[in-house]
Structure 1
Amino acid sequence: MSGAERKVAVVTGASRGAGRGIARALGEKGFRVYVTGRTLNEGDADLPGTIGSAAQAVTDAGGEGIAVRVDHASADETAALFAQVARESGRLDILVNNAAALHDDLVKPGPFWEKSPDLVDILDVGLRSAYLASWHAAPLMVRQGSGLIAFTSSFGSVCYMHGAAYGAQKAGVDKFAADMGVDFRGTGVAAIALWMGPLLTERSARTREEHPEQYEQIMANAETPEFNGRVIHALFSDPDLASLNGKTVITAEMAEKYGIVEAGGRQPPSWRAMLGDPREAHPAIIA
């Protein structure tokens, strides 16, 4: 597939974890994927993974990976990223807002005032950064009359999970999807928040080692990031995508709808009954 024929995606926060796997899954579908993050060299972060190796994984999967170092706390660097996408590709089909500042205290037991105040950084890189990335992506998508902006979210949007800062960020991106969805009506573009289940990532592997009594059973039913990436691609390809615009969906449930399974045919469960339902936005619109 030539570069001109490829669909184009941006996946933020993709040096490792959810972003890396989602980017690789889009590579499997032949996408050109701009992989963003801050880690250039192994050892620069306390977990393995770099944007270069993530981009190579996209290419190895059959796509075209392009590594772009971006600190999503910087409005200027975020603007430069989308200027590069517009200049080099002339289009943008999928934006996955995944970048988030995750502090090591996130899974530490105790109330929020006993944890580092730096947990609030997730409201900068994780909420504010997702808004800015969407602001830059929207004109590209609206101009071509198609596109998907996906927000990686979780059940922590409605239940207590990892404390107040984490919960506020997840509730915030769900609200971004709902309200951006109103603005996207009739444009061919959709905004959707996705509640992912427990994920098999470098960070969760470390957490399971540190807190086996808390996470061993949960991780037995965990999802791979690639599983979530395949769901995002299925949403993008759904001819009825407009009906999901503005919604918050559960990836495990959407995977069952689209016939997506993990290796060996395993179907990760939905945690709806245990952790809660996505909020339904009130239909009132005040411009």
Structure 2
Amino acid sequence: MAANLKGKVALVTGASRGIGKGIAIALGEAGALVYITGRSVNQTNSLETISGSLLETKATVENAGGICIAVPVDHSDDEQVKSLFEQIDREQNGQLDLLVNNAFGAVRSLISSNGKPFWEADLSLWDACNQVGLRSHYVASHFAAKMMTQRKQGLIVTISSWGGLAPIFGVAYGTGKSACDRLAADMAVELKPFNVASISLWPGIVGTEQFHQLADGNLEDNLGVTAIADKFNWETPLFVGRVIAALCNDPDLMRRTGKVQLAAELAARYGIVDEYEHCPVSLRSLRFLLAQGLPRLKSVAKLIPDLKVPWWMLLLTVLKSPKI
């Protein structure tokens, strides 16, 4: 499915790096006008104070063909978020077609608490996971919905994860991601009469900058990026963004509202590939699950049917294991 978003206005929160950056680039590639946010050092709303990584995202989005407006925003500050939406409302005459809730502030906290049970981790981990995360998604959606319902069109995509289903990074993370899925579902109920969709999106294993740095130093055989992505079924940040761009043009979008959507499964439906012409399979695909459970099958994984394991069966498997 070709993603033509010319004339559309999008906002991607937390777009300095990682998945947010890839999403912003893909939306620009599709021709959208993209607002991006990230934290600046001194939190003043001046372009000169935006971190270099956010400016780099802006330049890359524009090189991909889009128009990009970078705004320094601390998503833990409701007034800054309100000001952001007032700016978009003013500059775009009330138009906002897409909000991608991606900002997340707990990466460092999760790393420092890795391996600790919740009672041994610092109590601040809860707020780190869920203030700039679950709560900030609610706040941004609140302001976006005010604009979208006026025009009776729009899409809110909340980036969640498999942590909403299974214990991955601990109690605080998992509870927040499960709540993100519920947030998207409940917002969809109230937004549906206004023709505004709300979806929770689960990427797979995404090869962000940090992931690549780890891989470069630890993977054997000196595999190239393409071979690594293929062998380990990685999704690139741009791949996730291309899926969202295609989702915006889905004529059956309102049939998907309120549901958890898997990026790889949408990609297969829309015919999306990443920048390396690679299309990862869903993490609930029989191809992926068998190759993980029986490593000797990895070399012939492409011969295994790409069949989806039913949610109920996957949930039974998850409940029998402490982690996935």
- Whole-Å Cα distance in 1 between the matches of residues 116 and 90 of structure 2? 48
Query: Given the alignment of the two structures, is residue 242 of structure 1 paired with residue 243 of structure 2, yes or no?
Result: no
- Whole-Å Cα distance in 1 between the matches of residues 60 and 33 of structure 2? 12
* Greater radius of gyration (CA): 2
- Whole-Å Cα distance in 2 between the matches of residues 165 and 219 of structure 1? 31
Partner of 1:136: 143
Partner of 1:173: 180
Which of 119, 123, 126 is residue 113 of structure 1 equivalent to? 119
Partner of 2:13: 12
- Deviation by residue 1:154-176 (Cα, 9 ceiling, x = unmatched): 11101111111111121111111
Partner of 2:281: 269
**Equivalent residue runs for 1:1-287 within 5 Å:** 6-39=7-40, 50-90=53-93, 91-107=95-111, 108-120=114-126, 121-208=128-215, 220-272=232-284, 277=311
Structure 1 portions without partners, runs of 5+ = 42-47, 279-287
- Whole-Å Cα distance in 1 between the matches of residues 237 and 261 of structure 2? 16
Structure 1-normalised TM-score?
A: 0.85
The count of corresponding residues between Structure 1 and Structure 2 is: 266
Q: Secondary structure in 1 aligned to 2:119?
A: helix
Contact 1:252 1:268 in 2 (8 A): yes
Contact 2:97 2:154 in 1 (8 A): yes
- Deviation by residue 1:27-80 (Cα, 9 ceiling, x = unmatched): 001111111010469xxxxxx962111111111110011110000000000000
Structure 2-normalised TM-score?
A: 0.76
Identity across matched positions, percent: 44
Q: 1:72 to 1:211 in 2, by over 3 A?
A: farther
Contact 2:40 2:73 in 1 (8 A): no
Partner of 2:293: none
Question: What letter corresponds to residue 100 of structure 1 in structure 2?
Answer: F
Structural RMSD (CA) = 2.5
Structure 2 portions without partners, runs of 5+ = 1-5, 43-50, 221-227, 290-308, 313-324
Question: Residue 188 of structure 1: CA displacement?
Answer: 1.4
Question: What letter corresponds to residue 103 of structure 1 in structure 2?
Answer: V
Partner of 2:318: none
- Deviation by residue 1:83-109 (Cα, 9 ceiling, x = unmatched): 000000120000000001123242422
Question: What letter corresponds to residue 150 of structure 2 in structure 1?
Answer: R
- Whole-Å Cα distance in 2 between the matches of residues 114 and 218 of structure 1? 37
Question: What letter corresponds to residue 59 of structure 2 in structure 1?
Answer: Q
Question: Residue 222 of structure 1: CA displacement?
Answer: 1.1
Which region of structure 1 is more displaced relative to structure 2, 26-35 or 217-226? 217-226
Which region of structure 1 is more displaced relative to structure 2, 74-83 or 228-237? 228-237
Q: 1:207 to 1:101 in 2, by over 3 A?
A: farther
